[in-house]
Structures are given as structure tokens and as C-alpha cells.
Structure 1
Amino acid sequence: MPMDKNRRLLRIGVIGTLIVALCCFTPLLVILLAAVGLSAFTGYLDVVLFPALGFFIGLTGYAFYRKKSQRNPVCCKPDLHDGEIND
């Protein structure tokens, strides 16, 4: 993955985590649903938000891993003597 894609993946993961965490741990989404008239769905928010939070935290961790592994690549050169037959 090029560096731009890693940054984009990290940005999506962090922004998604912040938005879902804001909706999980504050009454922001409950107030918004009540204002729109959909307060009957507040009982199902944890069914949607907790897996979404787990997904975005995992995505952020994966993006950090990709960014770190690209910065410090492990270089494994094949050993030329392994496949040779000595006469």
C-alpha cells in the first residue's frame, strides 16, 4: 500500500472511532433520534454501535500496523546458496 492509502485508512479509522464513541458514550444520538421522532430505536443502538466501535478500533489498529511495517520494512533477501547444487 502506498503511503497515501495508509494515511487515508488511518484517518478513516480515527474519525470513525471518534464519531461512534461520541454516539456510544454521550446521549447525543438519543436526543437526535427523539427530536426526529424515532426514539423507539434507542433500544437497538447498542446492537449497532458497539460492533461499529469494535470495527473502527480494529481498522485504526490495522492502519497503525500497516504504517509501522511500511516505515520499517523487513528485508529478506533469498540466500543464493540454498538452491545451488555443488558439483
Structure 2
Amino acid sequence: MSGVEGSDTQSGLLKFGLIGTVIVALCCFTPVLVILFGAVGLSALLGWLDYVLLPALAIFIGITIYALWKCRDSERSS
């Protein structure tokens, strides 16, 4: 694997982590899903959102930190 392919993978991982973090954070800290679930008739599921959203937020933040760490390491080794 060449350095260019590795940086593309790390850049894609960073984009994935950042986009996922932003989407989950919007759903956690704003009533986006509450309004959406209420409009579709799934408001009974609102009590379970924290069990899904908070771990998802932690996972996406972890992916973002890992991608930043890998980018920093690849810059140091270059």
C-alpha cells in the first residue's frame, strides 16, 4: 500500500467520523428525532433513544480521534 492510498483511507475515515459525529450530536442535543418519530407515529420508541444515541456518539467520536491520530502519525513519518 502506497502512502497516497493510506492517506485516502485516513481522510475517508476522518470524513466518516466527523459526519457521523455531527449527525448523532444533532440527534442527541436537538429534538430532531423526537419531532421525526412523533410525526411518523413512533413516539413510543423515544425512551430508547438514549440507549442508541449516546453509544453511537461515543463510537463516532472515537473513530474521529483515531483518524486524527493516524493522520498525525503519517505526517510525522513522512
TM-score, scaled relative to structure 1: 0.82
CA distance in 2, matches of 1:69, 1:48: 32
Point out where structure 2 has 5 or more consecutive residues left out of the alignment: none
CA distance in 1, matches of 2:6, 2:29: 35
SS in 2 for 1:2: helix
Q: Which of 12, 15, 21 is the aligned partner of 1:17?
A: 21
TM-score, scaled relative to structure 2: 0.92
Residue number in structure 1 paired with 2:34: 30
CA distance in 1, matches of 2:23, 2:47: 19
Residue number in structure 2 paired with 1:7: 11
4+ residue runs over 6 A deviation: none
SS in 2 for 1:17: helix
Give the alignment of 1:27-66 within 5 angstroms.
Answer: 27-66=31-70
Point out where structure 1 has 5 or more consecutive residues left out of the alignment: 75-87
Q: RCO greater where, 1 or 2, for CA within 8 Å and sep 6 or more?
A: 2
CA distance in 2, matches of 1:2, 1:51: 28
- Please tell me whether Structure 1 or Structure 2 has the larger radius of gyration of its CA atoms: 1
Q: CA deviation at 1:47?
A: 0.2
CA distance in 1, matches of 2:6, 2:31: 39
CA distance in 1, matches of 2:34, 2:46: 6
